[in-house]
Amino acid sequence: MRTSSRIAHLALVAAALVSTQSQAQRLPRWEQAAPAGVARQELYPEVLDGKIYVAGGLLSPNTGYSAHFESWDATQARWTRRATLPEARHHIALAAANGRLWGVGGFSGGFPNWRAQSSVFWYEPEADRWHQGPDLPRPRAEGVAAAVLGKVYVIGGRVPAFVGASHFNDHQDTAAVEVLDPASGRWRRLPDAPTARNSAASAVIDGRIYVVGGRSARKQADGALSQINVSTLEVFDPVRNTWTTRKPMPQARGGLAAAAHRGKLYVFGGEQWVPEQKVFADSWVYDPDTDDWEALPPMPTARHGLGAATFAGDLQLADDVTPELVSVGLRHLDV
């Protein structure tokens, strides 16, 4: 959300998650990878048909925002520019379902004049074309989106506190969960998440949606808004429509990135606003089987407003197709 010179000039990179040929696992390390076409932040990447897509984002300074849309192809190890979003957005959440890429909500406007949007767009890869989708029941931004069993789930984020909200402070956190059935084009309300928050990260593991970190925007006595980080990890089961709370992150942070790899949750970076402004380079991995966290090597550059995604790439080792982890940053993590 906040822009600094260090964060505003981020590049997007691909990361290969590879195992050793021996049984002994080597220590993870970060390596440099190819940058994307546009430096930006506040991104929610998604994977579709073996490509990683990134849409919109905040530019530097953060009064600028983008409709830029591009994809990473692991087979060619390069980024390709795609059809721009119908409208410029930042904090627009992406989810892939039924061969389509869905872009949900997001903010328009430069800081502090942010306006949450209810618009939903869907992308047709074969034609490289965006279409208008069914609007959200109400405007929403800074939430997370995930696809499970062909449906698109939107969790948390910020919504207008009143009709016509057009300023950052005119929005409030929500715990609302809504699901879109692309077949019918209808949105449906589901049980709220335990925690209302914005700027969290999410990933899907074994058909369940893991939501971690983020911030809680709380108004102070003088009317000022204070962004308090949360470390909470909550898991939504779309089959049972139930929430469970798991062990929290070792350190609370908002504006972080998360991705699932081989049944575990990987978390990167983030920031805090209070008691002091700080951007993190730390990386963590969570194991659902043990309900425990383990530290990974920190990123070479502290960053927030980044994103991450996993997909089956072309990198092979010991005759095994290896997933890849893609993070918004200057380097990739080789584990």
Q: Where are the domains of the chain?
A: 5-334
Fold of 5-334: Neuraminidase (2.120.10)
Q: What is the mean predicted confidence (pLDDT) over 302-307?
A: 91
CA distances from 329 to 86, 187, 235, 269 (A): 26, 34, 27, 10
Residue 188 has pLDDT above 50, yes or no: yes
Residue 289: which residues within 8 A CB-CB, separation 6 or more? 263
pLDDT in tens, 48-63: 998 999 999 999 888 8
Contacts of 206 (CB under 8 A, 6+ apart): 263, 288
**Ranges 33-42, 79-88, 234-243: which has the least confidence:** 33-42
User: Using an 8 Å Cβ cutoff, are 65 and 56 in contact?
Assistant: yes
Strands 201-205 and 208-212: antiparallel
Specify the pTM. Answer: 0.87
Distance CA 59, CA 251 (A): 28
Segment among 21-35, 37-51, 90-104, 228-242 with least mean pLDDT: 21-35
- CA distance readout (Å), 262 to 55, 101, 151, 259: 26, 23, 22, 10
Task: Give residue 303's region: left, alpha or beta (phi > 0; psi -120 to 50).
Answer: beta
> What's the confidence (pLDDT) of residue 320?
25
- Specify the range with the lowest mean pLDDT, choosing from 155-164, 193-202, 247-256, 309-318: 309-318
- Look over the chain and give the mean of its residue pLDDT values, rounded to a whole number: 85
Q: With 70 as the cut, is the pLDDT of residue 2 above it?
A: no
Q: Are strands 151-155 and 144-148 parallel, antiparallel or unpaired?
A: antiparallel
Query: pLDDT, tens digit, for every residue of 137-151?
Result: 999 999 999 999 999
